[in-house]
A and B are shown apart, each in its own frame.
Chain A
Amino acid sequence: MKKSGNILFCGVGGQGILLASELTAEALLAQGHDVKKSEVHGMAQRGGSVEAHLRYGEKVHSPLIEPGGADLLLAFEIMEALRYLPYLNKKSKVIVNTQRIMPPAVATGKTVYPENILEELTSRGLTVIPVDGFEIAKAAGNVKAANVALVGALSKLLPIPEAAFIAAIEKRVPARFLEVNLKVFKAGRKAVK
């Protein structure tokens, strides 16, 4: 089991990426890791690309993942996974939410949304795990919890007990949404074989 690691979160503003990275950080912290996370704010609510770097280990110095240095990529939007290829190496694992969100140039008909993104990723030898976060969250009863479905998927790939994630969700999610979020988390976890 690795004692340190680099997890990159990416997606589109408004997808709940920051909460997902917070839950993951909480779970890692509770296991005694040092954790640093770096985000770029500013335009997150206005539909721009959003990224969060999360690094853990005995002692973390730099808050930034190096190019080629991500062990895990959690992409909340399928095209965004492609944008972050320079952070990935052949051993990187990629969890991809299969949701498509049209960038302005696509929405206004100036260009088209790229096809075959999963093939683009797998052709590079990457381990790619597609997850339909929206459907998982919808089936569990709250479409807004897709981010927690993805955290569920991510939890399966990290050397941390499930209970640590559950405790993090219990700490961070308001009581009235807790039950559905735990249900979504577990369903997300099952999506990774």
Chain B
Amino acid sequence: MSSKAAQPEQLWLSGNEALALGAHEAGVKVASGYPGTPSTEILENLSGYQGVYTEWAPNEKVGLEVAIGAAFAGARALATMKHVGLNVAADPLFTASYTGVRGGLVIIVADDPSMHSSQNEQDSRNYAYAAKLPMLEPSDPAEAKEFLKLAYELSERFDTPVLLKSCTRVAHVKGVVKPGKLAKSKVKVGLEKMPAKLVMLPGNARARRIAVAERQAQLADFAESFAENRIEWGDRKIGFIAAGTSYLYVKEAFPKATVLKLGLINPLPAGLLKELAAGVKKVIVVEELDPFLETQIKAMGIKCQGKELLPAIGEFNSAIVRQAVTGKPGPTGFAPVPVVPRPPNMCAGCPHRGVFYNLSRLKVFVSGDIGCYTLGFLPPLSAMDACVCMGASISMAHGMAKALGDAGKGKIVAVIGDSTFIHSGITGLINSVYNKDYSTVIILDNRITGMTGHQPNPASGSTLMGEPANEINFEELCRAIGVKHVRTVNPQDMKATYEVLKEEIERDEPSVVITRYPCVLIPEEKKRTKHPLHTVIENCTGCQACLRIGCPAIHWHPLEPAQAKKLGYKEKQKGYAQIDEITCVGCGLCLPLCKFKAITKGEGK
């Protein structure tokens, strides 16, 4: 073991922390984005640096447009998002490719192969190709920081937005990172009228289209000599082509092999690729998800293997790469044994729980959305029947209503969180009113963007930089849209929630129910004195009514007949439920469910 102590200038950072440091070192002035795993912590960390304005935008499209505007004004600008966020931001992305930039503009997009926290595993590299933009792909936190700084140099040198592709195994990997010098842009911040470049009407856009083609050719030339595209010559039997984390898995599995490491994955360096192919017996492309590199390399006339050996689904590791290439099973661990699954669950005291319990009682079809409340899908609540993308709940419910006509009345409900409603639910609600829908929309307003770790949003009353801000008034907004029936209810009041939901669902006109109660994980809520409920065990009849809300603080204890008898229960009682007073926050949701006085209010903690 080395006795050398860690260098003081050495930092230990996650990929997202490293990207924030990179943005700081690159002199980014304006950064905007929408939270989304695994990209969220980039802006959260960047907001801690001096000299940079950071914000949460209502959605990724707005975030990118803010960054484009800042770049047009000559500042270095950053937009961050997860892979599905880039779908939302795709409209400005494709045309910003035509305008180019003034100050450097970088879009960080974080993919999630294997869908650890996502609804699909789309491969964002396809956007670089489709929008004709350069894309850099770092493999670890140290490269993430350096590549972001390079991205700003490329952006200003080639007059182009630059995409930087991250993924779960870069964003949420920690590694050693060395801080560097602060860079300075040569572009001066200020407004400059240049309509031929910045006003994309057909006449101007046709000229810019040619500029884009010329830029692509220049970038392809640059790619040949770019220091981050390099051949590491080794054993000549196989020449691997890889970028990002795939490069690390190749190095781990085949430390002596020849590897062409691509730092810039669009456009590709044809000369370098041909040089590799000429120097090795066979070429294997190692890339997660789509055959993005492979298809283009084959089109260059270079013989190579890729997806015929390696999976196109899910993330890799070094064992997957080794086995796919050698064709031999590698070392394996013990065979898996069946283990009770441990899915995430709504927290004890979660304000969404009561809403979903009531929806399951009302037996409606629930058009769902993206957020913590998507967990309402899980048993025992089992009260979500569709979920596609951010904001889709309201528009899907409208489509269902139009498909069913009168037969769907009283049966269709959309549920959407506060942040998701602001993200892209409002336009759907406008459509529902305008096009004469009858479905009911529930805005689950917990005052925060919960799922991604409690980022403030326009309903929270504060900004990313910690300043007080206007709180959007959902009631007034919905009325202004034309919803005549807007009701607000405390979802912790089970009876009132049930009654309001029942009335509004039965209504023949569009209606909005706002269920408002703060998320239990908000710091102020966490600090609040809790009064956990108490179980009077001897009163429990084992009816399991309290278990139907799926609260993690209520535990079932099964009993054998002899044990039941010993505890003073009837022999046939199958068990009893007990509240774990450490987990319980005393929300009281279970109180009305117990008809046997086995749950009582407890002491404060």
Residues of A within 8 A of B (CB): 1, 3, 12-13, 25-26, 29-43, 45-49, 58, 60-64, 66-70, 79-80, 82-83, 85-89, 102-114, 120, 124, 159
Query: How far in angstroms is the closest Cβ of chain A from B364?
Result: 23
**B255 smallest CB distance to A (angstroms):** 8
Residue interface bits B372-411, CB-to-A below 8 A is 1, else 0:
1001001110000000000000000000000000000000
* Residue pair B547, A108 in contact (C-beta under 8 Å): yes
Q: Does A69 lie within 8 Å of B331, measured CB to CB?
A: yes
Please name 21 pairs of A and B residues whose Cβ atoms are closer than 8 Å in the assembled complex, sorted by A. A25-B12, A30-B6, A31-B2, A32-B4, A34-B176, A35-B176, A38-B169, A40-B172, A45-B347, A46-B345, A48-B345, A61-B249, A62-B252, A63-B173, A69-B319, A82-B339, A85-B333, A86-B333, A88-B333, A106-B340, A106-B556
Contacts A32-B2, A85-B336, A111-B340 aside, 11 further interface pairs with beta carbons under 8 A come to A31-B5, A35-B175, A62-B318, A63-B173, A63-B175, A64-B318, A69-B331, A86-B333, A105-B341, A114-B339, A120-B337
Closest Cβ of chain B: how far from A76's Cβ, in Å? 12
Identity of the chain A residue whose Cβ is nearest the Cβ of B375 in the assembled complex: A46
Q: Is the CB of A62 within 8 A of B248?
A: yes
B249 engages A62 (CB within 8 Å): yes
Which residues on the A side are within 8 Å of B332 (C-beta)? 67-68, 86
Chain B 218-257 against A: per-residue CB contact (8 Å), 1 yes, 0 no?
0000000000000000000000000001001101100000
Residues of A within 8 A of B10 (CB): 29
Shortest CB-to-CB span from A86 to chain B, Å, is: 4
| B172→A39 contact, CB < 8 A | yes
Closest to B117 in A: A42
Provided the pairs A32-B3, A41-B117, A47-B552 are in contact, do residues A62 and B317 lie with their beta carbons within 8 angstroms? Answer: yes
Report the Cα distance A39→B176, complex, angstroms.
16
Residue B555 lies at the interface, judged by CB distance under 8 Å to chain A: yes
Most chain B CB neighbours (cut-off 10 Å) among A66, A110, A112: A66
Bound CA span A32–B7, Å? 9
Whole-angstrom distance between the alpha carbons of A83 and B168 in the complex? 22
B residues apposed to A, CB below 8 Å:
1-6, 10, 12, 37-38, 116-117, 140, 168-169, 172-176, 245, 248-249, 251-252, 317-319, 330-337, 339-347, 372, 375, 378-380, 451, 453, 521, 544, 547, 550, 552, 554-556, 558, 574-575
B321's closest neighbor in chain A, by CB?
A62
Question: Could you tell me if B140 and A107 are in contact, using CB atoms closer than 8 angstroms?
Answer: no
Bound complex: CA A111 to CA B558 (Å): 10
Whether A37 and B345, one on each chain, are in contact in the complex, defined by CB atoms closer than 8 angstroms, is: no
Separation of A112 and B453 alpha carbons in the complex (Å): 32
List A contacts of B379 (CB < 8 A). Answer: 108, 110
Known contacts A25-B174, A33-B2, A85-B334; A12 and B342 CB within 8 A of each other: yes
Which residues of chain A are near B37, meaning CB under 8 Å? 41-42
Of chain B, the residue at the smallest CB distance from A92 is: B333
Q: In the complex where A46-B347, A48-B342, A108-B547 touch, is A37 in contact with B173 (Cβ < 8 A)?
A: yes
The listed residue (B3, B12, B174, B344) touching A48 by CB distance below 8 A is B344
Q: A68-B331, A87-B333, A108-B556 are in contact. Are A40 and B340 (CB under 8 A)?
A: no
Give Cα distance in the complex from A106 to B555, angstroms.
Answer: 8
Q: State A47–B551 Cα separation when bound (angstroms).
A: 11
Residues from chain B with a CB closer than 8 A to the CB of A111 are 340
Evaluate whether A104 and B117 lie within 8 angstroms (CB atoms) in the complex, with A12-B342, A46-B347 already known: no
- Which residue of chain B has its CB nearest to the CB of A107? B555
Q: Are A67 and B319 in contact (CB under 8 A)?
A: yes
When chains A and B are docked, how far (Å) is the Cα of A31 from the Cα of B1? 8
Nearest 9 A/B pairs, CB to CB = A68-B333, A42-B117, A109-B556, A48-B344, A43-B344, A32-B2, A46-B344, A66-B319, A62-B252
Chain A residues with Cβ under 8 A from B451's Cβ? 42
CB distance from A51 to the nearest CB of B (A): 11
Residue A89 contacts which of B176, B333, B558, B574 (CB distance < 8 angstroms)? B333
User: Looking at B317, B342, B380, B550, which has the most chain A CB atoms within 10 Å of its CB?
Assistant: B342
The smallest beta-carbon distance between A162 and chain B, in angstroms, is: 15
A112 to B2 CA separation, bound complex (whole angstroms) = 48
A66 in contact with B317 (CB, 8 Å): yes
A62 to B453, CA, bound (A): 27
Does A124 lie within 8 Å of B334, measured CB to CB? Answer: yes
| In contact, B117 and A86 (Cβ under 8 angstroms) | no
Chain A neighbourhood of B331, CB < 8 A: 66-69, 89
Q: Are B1 and A32 in contact (CB under 8 A)?
A: yes
CB of A42 within 8 A of CB of B116, answer yes
B333 touches A69 (CB 8 A): yes
| Shortest distance between the CB of B287 and any CB in chain A (Å) | 15
How far, in whole Å, are A33 and B124 apart by their CA atoms in the complex?
A: 34
A79 to B2, CA, bound (A): 37
Given A25-B12, A42-B116, A86 contacting B335 (CB threshold 8 A): yes
A53 to chain B, nearest CB (A): 9
Measured between beta carbons, the chain A residues less than 8 angstroms from B318 are 61-62, 64, 66
User: Nearest residue in A to B340 (C-beta to C-beta)?
Assistant: A103
A104 to B252, CA, bound (A): 38
Counting chain B CB atoms within 10 Å of each CB, the highest count among A3, A58, A104 belongs to A104
Query: How far is it, in angstroms, between the C-alpha of A124 and the C-alpha of B176 when the chains are bound?
Result: 36
* Interface-centre pick from A34, A43, A86 (highest chain B CB count, 10 A): A43
Q: Closest approach, in angstroms, between the C-beta of B602 and any C-beta of chain A? A: 19
Query: How close is A21's CB to chain B, nearest CB, in angstroms?
Result: 9
Q: Which of A12, A40, A83, A104 contacts B550 (CB 8 A)?
A: A104
Taking CB atoms, residues of chain B closer than 8 Å to A46 are 344-347, 372, 375
How many Å from the CB of A186 to the closest CB on chain B?
A: 23
Residues of B within 8 A of A35 (CB): 12, 174-176
For A47, give the chain B residue with the smallest CB separation.
Answer: B345
Report how far A72 CA is from B5 CA in the complex, Å.
24
A66 to chain B: closest residue by CB? B319
Is B344's CB under 8 angstroms from A47's CB? yes
Closest CB of chain B to A11's CB: distance in Å?
Answer: 10
B residues in contact with A87, CB < 8 Å? 333
Minimum C-beta distance from B445 to chain A (A): 19
Give chain B residues whose Cβ lies under 8 Å from the Cβ of A109: 544, 547, 556, 558, 574-575
